Amino acid sequence: MSAAHTPRPIDALDVLEADHRAIEQLFDAFERAERNDFERKNTLAQRACELLTIHAIVEEEMLYPAAQEALGADQRIDVDEAYVEHFLVKTLIERFASLKAGDDGFDATFKVLKENATHHIEEEETTLFPEVRRTQMDLVALGARMAARKAALKERIAETATAH
């Protein structure tokens, strides 16, 4: 088998891109939900917010600081931009703490969340991630640490959800 056919081990960017696909699936499912199926819309919105929250935490804790160090000065702006985009997404997620399906603003807030998150995902996959891949960062080791951190965060969210 030639080197070109040797599968590359799963790395941190694969983990993050898999999150992106899962988030997009939730956005699509929300789009397909019946307008008045509030239970489903609540569930999908909650799930999307949880996934986006965990995803943003691991990126900010584990990817962005390392990328800031590894990237050249010209590319660091892309990390700065990603932080600002996360800030917007997190601000929108906070609104769902006091919004439920059927409320005025619920569908609109979800739509804006989707637009912002989709833009951010596209930017990462077309600009930041390819730049990070060209650095010397050990993305395979980072991917393993990231998967462990994600599992711990998921557990914490599940505990919080059942703690009352």
Interface positions, 57-116, toward Fe ion (CB under 5 A): 59
To Fe ion, the closest distance from the beta carbon of 41 in angstroms equals 24
Tokens 């590359």 identify what position? 8
The DSSP annotation for 74-107 comes to TTHHHHHHHHHHHHHHHHHHHHGGG--TTSTTHH
Q: Residue 156, CB half-sphere, CA atoms under 13 Å: how many?
A: 11
- In the complex, the smallest distance separating the C-beta of residue 76 from Fe ion, rounded to whole angstroms, is 16
The minimum distance between CB 120 and Fe ion, in angstroms, equals 5
Residue nearest Fe ion, Cβ-based: 59
Helices (H), the chain: 12-32, 38-58, 64-70, 76-95, 106-123, 129-133, 139-162
In terms of CB distance, is 59 or 131 closer to Fe ion? 59
* Total residues found in the chain within this entry: 164
Residue with smaller CB distance to Fe ion, 64 or 106: 64
Kindly tell me which of 17 and 107 has the beta carbon lying closer to Fe ion: 17
Residue located via tokens 């569930």: 43
If the CB atoms of residues 11 and 59 are measured against Fe ion, the closer one turns out to be 59
Residue 129 CB, nearest approach to Fe ion (Å):
10
- As measured in angstroms, the least distance from the Cβ of 125 to Fe ion is 10
Site string for Fe ion, 20-59 (x = CB under 5 A): ---------------------------------------x
Tokens of 70: 């590894």
Phi-psi region for residue 105, left (φ > 0), alpha (ψ -120 to 50) or beta?
left
| Interface residue list for Fe ion (CB under 5 A) | 59
